Amino acid sequence: MSKPLITDLNIPLFSFEECIWYIDRGFYDCLHIRTGNAIEKAISTDDGRSTTFTLEGHGNHLSIICEPEYRQEVLDYVSIWLDLNREMGSFESLASEEPKFMALYKAYRGLRLIRIPDLFEALAWSIIGQQINLNFAYQLKSRLVSKYGFQADNGVYIFPDPGTIAELQPAELKKLQFSQRKAEYLIGIANAMATGQLSREKLMKLKSVEAKCNTLISYRGIGPWSANYVLMRAIGCTNVIPHGDAGMINAYKKIFGLSQKPDNQEIITYLSHFPGWQSYVVLYWWRSLSDK
């Protein structure tokens, strides 16, 4: 490997610590490695190979350490991954007008929507995460990735291709403790993506988020929660709400001192104070759950 190249960025309304916290969160995830205050990752490159890179930083400063020949690809990837191109000023303005949200905004200021750039990975993660605790979900994902993914030089894995998973039988995933249903859903989605029936490009051609959402929901195993979750994390829509999300509902109850679950409409109504930023509010709610 040639001499690593360091790219230094200073990003307004960005917090390296908050973003790294979200990526890591103490769960074991073989798609990245955290060593101290740095994160190592690997990605597939356009030439059919792979490359590794490291993120370091502090406050609004971010350093990207990568192979020179893949500098632009890595920069593009990181920009999506950490949502660096988002203009955050209007979110701050909206937050400052909303008393029940202002404290959260200030506490986690600079946290960005951590994306899952690979659509298949996002769909798989949404299926895996249904109805089970996060710790077990990460275990399932790690088993899937370490068995069927690609391991890069730095030991970090790259998420498997849809084609690889499409070839599997449910029984093979059940060995990893997938439920029969989850196995069927995942293989079905892998098939849809492997055949090209479903792709990021096709999804992006649909103008409205409603159309995108309906397309995703048409696949078995993808319901309202998964569809909106995927639009948020893979596509980067910030005006969607992962309806039914247990974490979101618990955060809402906690913030507003409720003993009963709010319905979808109540959440929609409150979040209408943040037009275009609903998903970011949900992100900050998720973040708040980890503070006791």
Residues at the site binding DNA, with contacts judged by CB under 7 A: 25, 126, 129-136, 174, 177-183, 185, 219-227, 229, 233, 242, 244-247, 250, 286
CB of 239 to DNA, least distance (A): 16
**Residue 149 vs 221, nearer CB to DNA:** 221
Report the number of secondary-structure helices (H) and strands (E) in the chain: 15, 7
| Tokens coding 289 | 């759950």
Residues known to be catalytic: 245
Amino acid at 9: L
The upper half-sphere exposure of residue 285, i.e. CA atoms within 13 Å in the direction of its Cβ, equals 24
CB 36, min distance to DNA, A = 22
Residue number with CB closer to DNA (41 or 233): 233
Beta bridge partners of 62: 9, 57
* Shortest reach from residue 43's CB to DNA, in Å: 20
Question: Considering the complex, what minimum distance in angstroms separates the CB of residue 38 from DNA?
Answer: 21
Residue 20 CB, shortest distance to DNA, in Å, is: 14
* Residue 202 or 220 having the CB closest to DNA: 220
CB-wise, 54 or 139, nearer to DNA? 139
Q: Which is nearer to DNA, 85 or 133 (CB)?
A: 133
CA dist., res. 8 & res. 107, Å (int): 25
How far is Cα 251 from Cα 146, in angstroms, rounded to an integer?
A: 33
Torsion of CA 280, 284, 285, 289, to 10 degrees: 150
Distance between CA atoms of 119 and 162, rounded to whole angstroms?
10
Q: Report d(CA 259, CA 270) in Å as an integer.
A: 17
Give the SS3 label for residue 17: helix
DSSP secondary structure letters along 54-85? EEEEETTEEEEEE-GGGHHHHHHHHHHHTTTT
